[in-house]
Structure 1
Amino acid sequence: MKADISEKIRTYFSQMSIYKDPEKTNSIFAGRNLPAFVKDFLLKRYLNVQTGEIDTLGLTQFLDQVIPTVTGSVKDRIVSGQEVVLLARFIIYIDLVKGQKQFAIPDYGIKLREGIIPEFVYNKHQGELVDGEKWGIVKLCLLPDSDGKKFHVQMVDYKPFKPYSSVDINYLAEARQHFTTDEWMDLLLSAMEYDPDGFANATQKLEFLTRLLIFAEPRLNVIELAPKGTGKSYVFGNLSKYGWLVSGGKVTRAKLFYDKSKQQNGIIKNHDFTVFDEIQTIVFQEPAEIQAALKSYLESGKTTIDNNEFSSECGLMLMGNIPLNEQRRPISPKYFGSLPENFRESALLDRFHCFIEGWLLPRIDTSMIFKGWTINVEYFSEILHTMRTNNAYSLLFDQLCRFEEKADVRDSKAIKRIATGYMKLLFPQWRSINDVNKEEFEMYCLNPAIHRRGIIKEQCRNIDPEFKSRMPDVYLV
């Protein structure tokens, strides 16, 4: 990435900028498997913003206190009567029958039945300690149960992992005006921790950045098929605390949507996006029930589970591998043949909006890991999360485009959502129709949206010859 872009980042994002040095970072965090948004939060605390140097001694001491490398030591210290402070990922389950707020910290061996959140901590953080996965700094101690016969681990203090309580979209829009579109795309790639110079052209860059659409646009449903080594898992597992990555194993309808026996919402309820990684390795139990629930949810964001109506704004993504020929193109023109049999149905797949051609992307190697100044991942992910509820760009699309009469509703919704996502990502400075560069809108937003939805339609036709693959005409006003 050019030096002048780095200087612009430091000028216009001074409080949000961070110097990335992969070799040093890997050494500092050795033995601690942390996502990028946590690493950047910690690095920012010990960074000299003038020189980019990190106080490695101070950071290491802090890590030793709150993220110990020896898993068993945490339980040993708790059992010995010590109060333990951890920066950790934990899972909350509210048991309505028992009236208990329970938590588990899988990385340190604390099970759900062992952890209790007392009322005073829960009440202090109304709306924060809800069902699902959280990150935060927690203080733990061992206390006896009410009957005095058993013990439990109690969360006696909690600080949410939220370095940015709010982010200003207007500030982002103002800063964006100082970057060209090419420079902005490079900034976004560097924020994802990839070196823009590792991509051959703007087409590759846009393909890679398309992965971020589900971070910013609610209920966008995406399929990506790609060869191994293109960075799929890293993007969705490391850049945001608002997503959930399902990697292999068994998946049930209760786990995804709603568990009637536990009266607990599934992972789709409390996340911005859910990604099924290595879809070929995931075992879907009760496939007919899951398929029926998915069809309804993908269509409207709602489904009914055991007479309970379930709704969410979570986007879904299917990621899988696809065999390629020597020219790195799919061996078969029927891409969806790489999906599990339960997903090879046109009525289900037509409910997905967007397709990412992962074979167009470069294989990630060490030279592509970014080194230099960029915006930190935690700020970046908060911006994308905040964008989800901003409807200005959707309204702007309505002013810019009209569809041919009798256009298929699924096609028009898909095109609008993809194009709106691109506007949020690439052109946050467009606040009114007078701001819009229509040539760039067509090149970077509208045409890619039509193309990506068109692949879904074409592949559905490969499954069902009676399926109509023609895309509607879209006109710029």
Structure 2
Amino acid sequence: MKQLDIKLNQHFSGKVVRKDLTKLVKGNAIVPTYVLEYLLGQYCATDDEETINQGVETVKSIIAKHFVHRDEAQIIKSTVREKGSHRIIDKISVKLNDRKDQYEASFANLGLKQIPISDIVIKEHQKLLSSGVWCILTLAYFSTDQKDASPWIIESIKPIQVSNVDLGEYKEARNNFAKDEWIDVLMQSIGLNPDEFSRRTKLLQLARLIPFVENNYNLIELGPKGTGKSHIYSEMSPHGILISGGEVSKAKLFVNNSNGEIGLVGYWDIVAYDEFAGKTKKADRGLVDIMKNYMANKSFSRGTEVYGASASMVFVGNTDHPVPYMLKHADLFDVLPKDYYDTAFLDRIHAYLPGWEIQKLRNEMFTEDYGFIVDYLAEILRELRREDRTHEYAKFFELSDSITTRDKTAIAKTFGGLAKVIFPAGEMSEEDARELLDFAIENRKRVKLQLQKMDETFEEVDFSYTVKSSGKRVTVETLEVIEYCGLRELKHGDDSTVLKEESPQPTGPGSLKLADGQKIIRDNQTGVSYDNLFGAYLIGATDITLVDPYVRLPYQLRNFMEFAKLVSEKKEGDAEVKLHLVTANNEEFIENAKEAFEQMAYSLESVGVLFSYEFADNIHDRSINLDNGWKVILGRGLDIWQKTGGWFDINEYVQEKRLCKACEVTFVKG
């Protein structure tokens, strides 16, 4: 096991499970992950391999014998009749039959309807009155001659969810993990391999958990298909429900005026709308108006009654166009149905997650390591909803006065939600808090910028803050604006962040206007190539030394050859340029590296680049030293991009299409 898995089993014994086991037991059962992991938690929450193997077989047996498949419903009914009673796993919903004055249950897969169920059960598990809850129950059959009497009897029923968790114990155990370790634990817990994601993308994934820990939180995520936008809301927790955006009604969501029944917001912590996008989709305008009031005030009214609820609202959908197209020709909300394309409604959104930054999920992105049993984590997150962490940023920072109250509330709720997820015990440094605040501001600013494009009455807002410890002012911008709208992010020596309009620099000999300075590249940023980053600084250089300790793995060797290609393109005519590489290596890679470098030297000679190399121990700094008087200090060396999808991914061949890793590049005149 990895060291992190060992540590997780040590401090959370009995509460974690190996995530690949879910696939082993699921088979063709159409059942949420939290149901399977509830069972795995009973039998496989250990790191003992023999116990795990036995537990997997037990869970497989339970699923095979008791899970109700729709196509086997009649067989299950027959089994119950022949045996007298039988234990099953099915999704149950309950309604009140006011004519008979009794509650009646419906079985999603078994197909039974109007089966009497005890009032006591409903008092204990009121969520059964909503759209359905997965349960383990014992169903009996007793034939009777009584008219209109049902032979089916629910003897016992238990919703599938962990009953008790100790939040104090969870917080105490969390203190044994560093911040980065804890983020990876959470990534593994939601089924993802943290090694395949950048830091920013990890935050985007964990931001999907904010509605689970924050009351009345309104989140939207729009992006390409296949990035897992809706998965977490259907699979992660028994306290969230995923519904089709086209199937919503006032009665289903809020309250049914005909019988007074409260809708979904009264029973669920999260109501998520799947497939929310689509310009041609129709919506009830009255529903939109009720939603606007609820999202702003946590209350809704039908008739004369006013109700309150704490359910968070999540809207997920697919975009029709790439981001540059939307920014130029429309806005980032353009894909929404006409009735929801309403500035008053959209202004209630606390955060807009940029789904286009999240890569489509590939097999290697799923983890086979340990993570929390999702049902346990779901209960912990639900307990954290009771806490308020929205004002903790104020210990370190002061938001700009121009930020409106609604904007500040949105920023504070996103900050507080992420703080509860990543720092449940409450201890945060200024640096930790700044990362979360920047993220929160950016995702609210994304909403506000679109509102300003849609309606000119929305005034511009200065989304900046002051660091109390230093008095420095920091301006936050959305990544897509930096990428596509002619801005670049710079950092002053006093550590304050500013934004500057990008102007094309001349690249011809004698016309260069290069200057000392620094460029900041953010996680997931695109549009960056070696040429537009530092290509102009190579012009006129005839002797170039690259210092980079990590040029050994296939993708690192690819990066170096792309750099060497740029050197050949920037040199004058038939001139020769010396290119020397100083790097480090070890016994595992050194022979392959030597072979690769010899082939490179032979190849590059044909384009006028005289390549040489040396191995040096204990080097750390990364730089390009040029005999034209410039030095380029590379924070990450040539390794500035995230992993591509391989040979069949256009990102493999076009640098500007690749997602970047966060780093800084500094230009110094010698």
Could you say whether these structures have the same fold, taking a TM-score greater than 0.5 normalized by the shorter chain as the test? yes
Cα offset, 1:180, TM superposition: 1.9
RMSD of aligned Cα (Å): 2.6
Cα offset, 1:62, TM superposition: 2.0
2:438 corresponds to which of 442, 447, 461: 447
Q: Say yes or no: does 1:423 pair with 2:430.
A: no
Higher relative contact order (CA 8 A, sep 6+): 1
Q: Say yes or no: does 1:377 pair with 2:377.
A: no
CA distance in 2, matches of 1:335, 1:168: 42
1:438 equivalent in structure 2:
430
CA distance in 2, matches of 1:285, 1:310: 26
Q: Say yes or no: does 1:167 pair with 2:165.
A: yes
Indicate if the aligned counterparts of 1:89 and 1:134 stay in contact, CA closer than 8 A.
yes
Indicate if the aligned counterparts of 1:89 and 1:136 stay in contact, CA closer than 8 A.
yes
1:466 equivalent in structure 2:
457
Cα offset, 1:436, TM superposition: 2.7
Residue 154 of structure 2 aligns with an amino acid whose one-letter code is: M
SS at match of 2:265: coil
* Aligned residue runs from structure 1 range 345-424, under 5 A: 345-391=342-388, 393-394=389-390, 396-397=392-393, 399-405=395-401, 407-424=403-420
2:176 corresponds to which of 175, 178, 189: 178
Q: Say yes or no: does 1:287 pair with 2:284.
A: yes
1:310-360, CA deviations, whole angstroms, 9 ceiling, x for partnerless residues?
Answer: 3210111111111344xxx45211111011111111111001110100111
* Aligned residue runs from structure 1 range 80-159, under 5 A: 82-96=84-98, 98-111=100-113, 114-119=114-119, 121-122=121-122, 125=124, 130-142=129-141, 148-151=147-150, 153-159=152-158
1:129-178, CA deviations, whole angstroms, 9 ceiling, x for partnerless residues?
Answer: 55453232112234579952442533221223233x22222222222222
CA distance in 2, matches of 1:310, 1:224: 28
CA distance in 2, matches of 1:282, 1:119: 44
Cα offset, 1:407, TM superposition: 4.4
2:257 corresponds to which of 260, 281, 290: 260
SS at match of 2:217: coil
Cα offset, 1:87, TM superposition: 2.2
Q: Structure 1 residues 115 and 447 mapped into 2: Cα distance closer, same or farther (>3 Å)?
A: same
Residue 209 of structure 2 aligns with an amino acid whose one-letter code is: L
Aligned residue pair count: 460
CA distance in 1, matches of 2:145, 2:391: 56
Cα offset, 1:261, TM superposition: 1.9
Cα offset, 1:270, TM superposition: 0.7
Answer with 50-59 or 267-276: which moved more: 50-59
Indicate if the aligned counterparts of 2:38 and 2:160 stay in contact, CA closer than 8 A.
no
Q: Structure 1 residues 93 and 282 mapped into 2: Cα distance closer, same or farther (>3 Å)?
A: farther
CA distance in 1, matches of 2:247, 2:100: 28
Cα offset, 1:288, TM superposition: 1.4
Cα offset, 1:12, TM superposition: 1.2
1:234 equivalent in structure 2:
231
Indicate if the aligned counterparts of 2:402 and 2:461 stay in contact, CA closer than 8 A.
no
SS at match of 2:376: helix
2:185 equivalent in structure 1:
187
Answer with 367-376 or 85-94: which moved more: 85-94
Q: Structure 1 residues 347 and 57 mapped into 2: Cα distance closer, same or farther (>3 Å)?
A: closer
SS at match of 1:258: coil
* Aligned residue runs from structure 1 range 213-362, under 5 A: 213-247=210-244, 249-280=246-277, 287-325=284-322, 329-333=323-327, 334-362=331-359
SS at match of 1:34: coil
Cα offset, 1:455, TM superposition: 0.6
1:47 equivalent in structure 2:
44
Cα offset, 1:394, TM superposition: 3.3
Indicate if the aligned counterparts of 2:281 and 2:338 stay in contact, CA closer than 8 A.
no
How high is the TM-score relative to the length of structure 1? Answer: 0.89
| Higher-Rg member (1/2) | 2
Residue 59 of structure 1 aligns with an amino acid whose one-letter code is: V
SS at match of 1:264: coil
Indicate if the aligned counterparts of 2:219 and 2:350 stay in contact, CA closer than 8 A.
yes
1:409-467, CA deviations, whole angstroms, 9 ceiling, x for partnerless residues?
Answer: 2111111100000100111121xxxx330111011x21111111111111111211221
Residue 463 of structure 1 aligns with an amino acid whose one-letter code is: M
Residue 415 of structure 1 aligns with an amino acid whose one-letter code is: I
Indicate if the aligned counterparts of 1:43 and 1:54 stay in contact, CA closer than 8 A.
no
SS at match of 1:232: coil
CA distance in 2, matches of 1:169, 1:398: 25
List alignment gaps of at least 5 residues for structure 1: none
Answer with 152-161 or 102-111: which moved more: 152-161
Q: Structure 1 residues 368 and 96 mapped into 2: Cα distance closer, same or farther (>3 Å)?
A: same
Indicate if the aligned counterparts of 2:17 and 2:373 stay in contact, CA closer than 8 A.
yes
CA distance in 2, matches of 1:67, 1:283: 39
2:559 equivalent in structure 1:
none
List alignment gaps of at least 5 residues for structure 2: 469-670
CA distance in 1, matches of 2:9, 2:362: 27
Q: Structure 1 residues 75 and 439 mapped into 2: Cα distance closer, same or farther (>3 Å)?
A: same
Residue 19 of structure 2 aligns with an amino acid whose one-letter code is: K
CA distance in 2, matches of 1:452, 1:126: 36
Residue 313 of structure 2 aligns with an amino acid whose one-letter code is: L
Residue 177 of structure 2 aligns with an amino acid whose one-letter code is: F
Indicate if the aligned counterparts of 1:269 and 1:312 stay in contact, CA closer than 8 A.
yes
Answer with 281-290 or 27-36: which moved more: 281-290
Residue 176 of structure 1 aligns with an amino acid whose one-letter code is: R
CA distance in 2, matches of 1:347, 1:38: 38
Q: Structure 1 residues 96 and 408 mapped into 2: Cα distance closer, same or farther (>3 Å)?
A: farther
CA distance in 2, matches of 1:158, 1:68: 15
CA distance in 1, matches of 2:11, 2:104: 43
CA distance in 1, matches of 2:125, 2:45: 35
Cα offset, 1:372, TM superposition: 1.6
CA distance in 1, matches of 2:99, 2:440: 47
Q: Say yes or no: does 1:37 pair with 2:24.
A: no
Residue 118 of structure 1 aligns with an amino acid whose one-letter code is: S
Q: Structure 1 residues 474 and 93 mapped into 2: Cα distance closer, same or farther (>3 Å)?
A: farther
Cα offset, 1:73, TM superposition: 2.0
Indicate if the aligned counterparts of 2:393 and 2:433 stay in contact, CA closer than 8 A.
no
Indicate if the aligned counterparts of 2:399 and 2:466 stay in contact, CA closer than 8 A.
yes
Q: Structure 1 residues 476 and 142 mapped into 2: Cα distance closer, same or farther (>3 Å)?
A: farther
1:11 equivalent in structure 2:
10
Cα offset, 1:93, TM superposition: 2.1
CA distance in 2, matches of 1:146, 1:272: 44
SS at match of 1:228: coil
Residue 408 of structure 1 aligns with an amino acid whose one-letter code is: T
CA distance in 2, matches of 1:343, 1:218: 22
